[in-house]
């Protein structure tokens, strides 16, 4: 039993997901931030990287090998893909870890190696990692030491799909997921195609047919379908800072109808504080901006016998740092909503 506040170290704290977990932890009554790392900015204050944090007493940024793990209870890793494996596998066993990279999202490490074109260096640790889709794997997360936070696109797609797949309500032969994300999903790295002049007044698809999140979506759906599925996933870049809107199309199984879909989703998420189901309203990213919520709208196209689900999340919160905090809360057995109750920033 931990006395006092839970002491957290944040690895890769200078990026957007690191910034968001800092903001959320500051709002929590149960955590304190003890260490923050950013190898390229070691020695700097967080307020020198983000001046709006100047009124908060935060530790200086360090290199990873400089931090002291004595007394640390939890680590949130916001390191890039392939960078987390060796670091996390060397962390003492008494420290709980939530990893926001893709390094531990696949039980089958062969899929990871093929998808990310890199060798998995911690296959032994992978066996004990739980996939951190909070509402779906809540019990397993609460018992785990290491949690792999889902990707932002998979979170937006899996939350609407898993309940109807578990209940055998839909035809899994042709699921279409059409997703749009704000530019913060690409991180803080300087890239030409993310410049304001490149993004503003435009709209583009990318990673068509081969985006890295497709195997993650496929893998998780097949876990619940207990069979192979056919998923088509296409992401798009919106000229907005944050938010994901995923439009999901599928055929309803011949023995069911749209009412079964509505009932299934409402029953599955009736007690969930962060999931909102609408059968008479199609949500927008404004509805969830700045929150850990996922809003799901349900519609039906009679002419093509197609069910349409529209799922919206904030990619930096429910799609990353908010879900990470939700998972930490579960792992430490504290109120799941701690630090995560925010009114949406509609404007």
Q: Specify whether the CB–CB gap between 17 and 100 falls below 8 A.
A: yes
Give the confidence band of 186 by pLDDT, cuts at 50, 70, 90: confident
Is 70 exceeded by the pLDDT of residue 168? yes
Claim to verify: residue 102 and residue 160 sit in the same structural domain: no
Give burial (CB, 10 Å; 0-12/13-18/19+) of 29. Answer: exposed
Claim to verify: residue 292 and residue 166 sit in the same structural domain: yes
- pLDDT tens, position by position, 232-264: 999 999 999 999 999 999 999 888 899 999 999
Residue 132 domain flag:
yes
- pLDDT tens, position by position, 28-46: 999 999 999 999 999 999 9
- Quote the domain boundaries for residue 133: 6-150+318-331
For the chain, how many structural domains are there in total? 2
Claim to verify: residue 10 and residue 67 sit in the same structural domain: yes
Residue 311 domain flag:
yes
Claim to verify: residue 100 and residue 146 sit in the same structural domain: yes
| Greatest CA separation for the chain | 63
Claim to verify: residue 128 and residue 213 sit in the same structural domain: no
Which residues contact residue 222 at a Cβ distance below 8 angstroms, ignoring those fewer than 6 apart? 228, 229
Catalytic residue among 78, 152, 264, 294: 152
Claim to verify: residue 168 and residue 265 sit in the same structural domain: yes
Residue 224 domain flag:
yes
Q: What is the domain-level CATH number for residue 157?
A: 3.30.360.10
Q: What is the domain-level CATH number for residue 38?
A: 3.40.50.720
Residue 24 domain flag:
yes
Which pTM was predicted? 0.95
Which of the pair, 34 or 192, is modelled with greater confidence?
Answer: 34
Residue 344 domain flag:
no
Claim to verify: residue 130 and residue 165 sit in the same structural domain: no
Is 80 exceeded by the pLDDT of residue 3? no
Claim to verify: residue 119 and residue 172 sit in the same structural domain: no
Residue 345 domain flag:
no
Claim to verify: residue 195 and residue 309 sit in the same structural domain: yes
The pLDDT score that the predictor gives to residue 189 is: 75
Three-class SS of residue 200? coil
Average pLDDT estimate for 304-324: 97
Tell me whether residue 152 is one of the annotated catalytic residues: yes
Which residues contact residue 75 at a Cβ distance below 8 angstroms, ignoring those fewer than 6 apart? 8, 9, 10, 11, 88, 91, 95, 96, 97, 98
Claim to verify: residue 158 and residue 142 sit in the same structural domain: no
Claim to verify: residue 103 and residue 50 sit in the same structural domain: yes
* Residue 84: both structure tokens together: 């987390």
Which residues contact residue 1 at a Cβ distance below 8 angstroms, ignoring those fewer than 6 apart? none
- Distance (Å, whole) CA 46 – CA 43: 9
Residue 143, sorted as left (phi over 0), alpha (psi -120 to 50) or beta, turns out to be alpha
């Amino acid at each position: 039993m931990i006395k006092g506040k839970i002491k957290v170290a944040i690895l890769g704290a200078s990026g957007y997901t690191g910034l968001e977990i800092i903001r959320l932890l500051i709002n929590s009554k149960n955590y304190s931030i003890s260490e923050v790392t950013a190898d390229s900015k070691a020695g700097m204050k967080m307020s020198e990287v983000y001046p709006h944090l100047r009124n908060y007493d935060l530790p200086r940024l360090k290199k990873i090998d400089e931090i002291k793990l004595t007394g640390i209870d939890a680590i949130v890793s916001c390191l890039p893909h392939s960078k987390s494996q060796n670091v996390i596998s060397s962390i003492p066993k008494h420290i709980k870890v939530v990893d926001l990279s893709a390094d531990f999202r696949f039980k089958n490490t062969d899929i990871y190696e093929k998808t990310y074109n890199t060798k998995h260096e911690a296959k032994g640790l992978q066996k004990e990692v739980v996939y951190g889709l909070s509402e779906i794997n809540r019990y397993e997360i609460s018992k785990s030491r290491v949690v792999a936070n889902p990707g932002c696109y998979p979170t937006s797609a899996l939350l609407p799909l898993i309940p109807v797949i578990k209940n055998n309500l839909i035809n899994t032969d042709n699921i279409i997921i059409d997703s749009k994300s704000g530019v913060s999903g690409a991180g803080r790295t300087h890239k030409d195609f993310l410049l304001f002049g490149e993004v503003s007044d435009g709209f583009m698809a990318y990673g068509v047919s081969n985006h890295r999140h497709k195997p993650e979506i496929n893998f998780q759906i097949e876990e619940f379908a207990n069979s192979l599925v056919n998923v088509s996933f296409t992401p798009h870049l919106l000229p907005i800072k944050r938010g994901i809107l995923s439009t999901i199309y599928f055929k309803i199984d011949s023995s069911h109808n749209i009412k079964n879909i509505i009932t299934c989703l409402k029953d599955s998420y009736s007690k969930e504080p962060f999931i909102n189901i609408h059968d008479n309203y199609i949500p927008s990213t404004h509805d969830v901006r700045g929150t850990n919520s996922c809003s799901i709208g349900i519609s039906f196209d009679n002419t093509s016998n197609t069910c349409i689900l529209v799922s919206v999340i904030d990619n930096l919160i429910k799609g990353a740092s908010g879900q990470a905090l939700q998972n930490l809360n579960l792992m430490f057995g504290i109120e799941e909503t701690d630090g995560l109750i925010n009114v949406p920033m509609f404007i």
